[in-house]
Amino acid sequence: MTRLSEILDELADQAKVYDVTDQSVRAARRRHRQRFGMKTAVRVTAAVCLIAVVAAILPLSFSGGTGVPEAGPGRLDGEPAALVRPLLDAPTRGSLAGDRAYLDAVLARITGDPERYGLPDDRARLRILFAGDVPGKRRLVIVAGFTAQPRKVELTGSRGASARRLDLTGWSDLEEPIVRTEWRGERLDTGYALVFGPAGYDVWVSERPRYLADGTVGRDWRPEPAGYVLRDVADMPAGLRVRMSRGETVLYEGPVAAVGAKRTGAVDPAPLYGRGTPAPTAAGSAADALAYQFGLTGPDVHYVVLWSDAFEVDDPNGTGTGMGQIATVMAVTADGGGPYITIATDASPQPNARNHPTGEGVAGDPAKALIAMRLPHFTAEASDALQIIGPPAASRAEIRQGDTVVTTTPLDDGVGRVELPGPADVTVRVYDEHGAVLAERAFADVGATPAGSVEPELKGWK
Amino acid sequence: MVDEEGFREFVQVRLPRLSRAAYLLAGGHAQAEDLLQATLIKAALGWSRISEAQDPEAYVRRILYHEHVRTWRRRRWREHSTATPPERAHEDGTNQTVLRLVLQQALARLTPRQRAVVILRYFEDLSEAQTAQVMSVSVGTVKSQTSHALARLRKLAPELADHVRESMEVGS
Give the model confidence (pLDDT) of A413-434 as tens digits.
Answer: 999 999 998 888 899 999 999 9
The type of residue at A221 is: W
Residue B98: per-residue pLDDT: 72
Residue A324: per-residue pLDDT: 94
The chain-wide mean pLDDT, for chain A, equals 85
Q: Quickly count: other Cβ atoms within 10 Å of residue A381's Cβ.
A: 17
* B2-17 tens-digit pLDDT: 678 888 888 988 888 8
Put simply, whether A40 touches B (Cβ < 8 Å) is no
Whether the CB-CB separation of A147 and A80 falls below 8 Å is answered with yes
Residue A22: per-residue pLDDT: 85
B88 band by pLDDT with thresholds 50, 70 and 90: very low
Hey, are the CB atoms on A4 and B160 less than 8 Å from each other?
Answer: yes
Phi, psi torsion values for A311, nearest 5 degrees: -145, 120
CA-wise closest residue to A330 among A283, A385, A388, A260: A283
Hey, are the CB atoms on A11 and B24 less than 8 Å from each other?
Answer: yes
Residue A186: per-residue pLDDT: 64
B68 to chain A: nearest residue by CA? Answer: A380
Q: Is A32 a residue whose pLDDT tops 80?
A: no
**Ranges A185-189, A407-411, B47-51, B86-90, most confident:** A407-411
Beta strands at A202-206 and A241-246: parallel, antiparallel or unpaired: antiparallel
Residue B168: per-residue pLDDT: 56
CB pairs under 8 A between A and B: 148
Half-sphere exposure of A407 (CA within 13 A, CB side): 13
Residue A315: per-residue pLDDT: 77
Where is pLDDT greater, at A204 or A46? A204
Which chain A residues in 340-399 lie under 8 Å from chain B, judged by CB atoms?
357, 379-381
Residue A307: per-residue pLDDT: 98
> Which residues in chain B have their CB less than 8 angstroms from residue A73's CB?
29-30, 33
Close Cβ partners of A26 (under 8 Å, ≥ 6 residues apart): A67
Q: Is B96 a residue whose pLDDT tops 80?
A: no
Hey, are the CB atoms on B20 and A15 less than 8 Å from each other?
Answer: yes
Q: Is A330 a residue whose pLDDT tops 80?
A: yes
A318 to chain B: nearest residue by CA? Answer: B136
Where is pLDDT greater, at B106 or A90? A90
Work out the average pLDDT over B42-66: 84
Q: How far is CA A225 from CA A130, A222, B11, in A?
A: 16, 9, 54
Work out the average pLDDT over B25-48: 86
Residue A44: per-residue pLDDT: 28
How far is A1 from chain B, CA to nearest CA, in Å? 7
H/E element, B18? helix B4-26
Put simply, whether A222 touches B (Cβ < 8 Å) is no
Q: Is A96 a residue whose pLDDT tops 60?
A: yes
H/E element, B30? helix B29-45
How far is A265 from chain B, CA to nearest CA, in Å? 33
Whether the CB-CB separation of A64 and A173 falls below 8 Å is answered with yes
The span from the CA of B150 to the CA of B152, in Å, is 5
How would DSSP label each residue in B104-117? HHHHHHS-HHHHHH
Q: Quickly count: other Cβ atoms within 10 Å of residue B5's Cβ.
A: 8
Hey, are the CB atoms on B34 and A72 less than 8 Å from each other?
Answer: yes
> E strands within A66-208?
126-134, 138-145, 151-158, 167-173, 179-184, 191-196, 202-206
A40 band by pLDDT with thresholds 50, 70 and 90: very low
CA-wise closest residue to A293 among A41, A56, A45: A56
The span from the CA of A6 to the CA of A12, in Å, is 10
How far is A59 from chain B, CA to nearest CA, in Å? 9
Q: Of A198-202, A334-338, A447-451, which gets the smallest average pLDDT?
A: A447-451
Put simply, whether A39 touches B (Cβ < 8 Å) is no
Is pTM beyond 0.90? Reply is no
Work out the average pLDDT over B23-40: 86
Strand partners, A308: A276, A327
Q: How far is CA A126 from CA A79, A87, A120, A146, B137, in A?
A: 12, 12, 7, 6, 46
Q: Quickly count: other Cβ atoms within 10 Å of residue A202's Cβ.
A: 14
Q: Please measure the distance between the N-terminal and C-terminal CA atoms of chain B and give it in whole angstroms.
A: 41
